[in-house]
Amino acid sequence: MRVEFILNGRKVAVDVEPSETLLNTLRFKLRVKSVKRGCERGECGSCTILLDGQPVTSCMLLTLQVEGREVTTVEGLEKDDLFKKLVDYFIEEGAIQCGFCTPGILLTAWAGLKQGRFKSVDDVREYVANLCRCTGYVKIINAIYKAATGVAGR
């Protein structure tokens, strides 16, 4: 079946199986490698994408469901100033260890920043529910809070 949607600002058309997840379409057919396969049941957030601006896990979506919609991955945000600032804070804080969860967390955080959701550190903890097994989250939370407020989390 043919599906058309907007990927990072460009229209794409792909042939997919009815049961195909957006995660597999993105990785295997469109070769978007920033979208990582972690648990395949919507728990870990490694495969997070933005669907019309909202963070969702692409393993829990059938590609058919995104017909006509807008899908954004970190590849589409490379030139975005807020995104660049966010990554700079991640690097400055040391919030990236193995890097597997990082693109998904950045997308979630970027969406939260855009929507002005982070008034406190607890807001960040509440909204960014992606899993990371390396960092213990401290530096991730601080980096996002810094990007939101310009000050360190503690």
Partner 1 sequence: MDAWDKALGRAMFTEDYYVDYLLANALFIKQVLSPMPHARIKKIDASRALSISGVHGVFTASSIPGENQVGYAIPDQPLIAEGKVRYAGELVALVAASDFDKAIRGAEEVVVDYEPLPALLDPLEAMERRDVLVHEERGSNIAFQTRVRKGNVEEGFSKAHVVVENEYRLHHQEHAYLETEAALAIPESEGRVTVIGALQYPHLGQKIVSRVLGVPMSKVKIVAPYIGGGFGGKDDEGPLTCAKAALVAYLTGRPAFILYSREDSIRVHPKREAAVIRYKSGVDAGGKLTAIEVTIIHDTGAYANRGPFILWRATMHASGPYEVPNAKVDGYAVYTNKVYQGSFRGFGNLSIQFAVERQMDLLAEKLGLDPVEFRLRNILREGSYTLTSQLLDHSVGVGEALKRVAEKADWWRKRREIEEFNKSSERFKRGIGVAVAWHGISTSRAVPDWSNAYVKVELDGSVTVYTGIVEMGQGSPTSSHVQIVSEILGVPVDKVKVVFATTEAPDSGATHASRGTGIGGLGVLVAAAKIRERLASLAGRVLGVDPGELEFKDGRVYSRRDPSKSISWRDLVREAYARGVEVSATGYYYLPKGRFDESTGQGFAYPAYSYIVLVTEVEVDTRTGLVRVLRVYPGLASGKIINPKQVEGQIEGAIAQAIGYTLMEYLYFDEYGRVLNANFTDYVIPTPKDIPEIEKPVYVEDKFRHGAFGAKGVGEMALIPGPASIANAVAHALGVNITSTPLTPWRLLEYIKRSPRG
Under the rule (CB under 8 A), what is the footprint of partner 1?
17, 24, 27-28, 31-41, 43-44, 46, 73-75, 78, 87, 90-91, 93-94, 96-103, 106, 124-126, 128-129, 131-141, 154
Cβ distance to partner 1 smaller for residue 55 or 103: 103
Distance CA 30, CA 26 (A): 5
* Residue type (1 letter), 101: C
Cβ distance to partner 1 smaller for residue 2 or 41: 41
To partner 1, the closest distance from the beta carbon of 143 in angstroms equals 11
Q: What is the CA radius of gyration of the chain?
A: 15
Grouping H, G, I as helix, E, B as strand and the rest as coil, residue 60 is: helix
Grouping H, G, I as helix, E, B as strand and the rest as coil, residue 84 is: helix
Distance CA 9, CA 20 (A): 22
Cβ distance to partner 1 smaller for residue 35 or 71: 35
Distance CA 67, CA 77 (A): 21
To partner 1, the closest distance from the beta carbon of 97 in angstroms equals 3
Distance CA 62, CA 14 (A): 13
To partner 1, the closest distance from the beta carbon of 147 in angstroms equals 13
To partner 1, the closest distance from the beta carbon of 7 in angstroms equals 14
Cβ distance to partner 1 smaller for residue 43 or 70: 43
Cβ distance to partner 1 smaller for residue 31 or 68: 31
To partner 1, the closest distance from the beta carbon of 43 in angstroms equals 4
> In the chain, which residue ranges form alpha helices assigned H by DSSP?
22-24, 81-93, 102-114, 121-127, 138-149
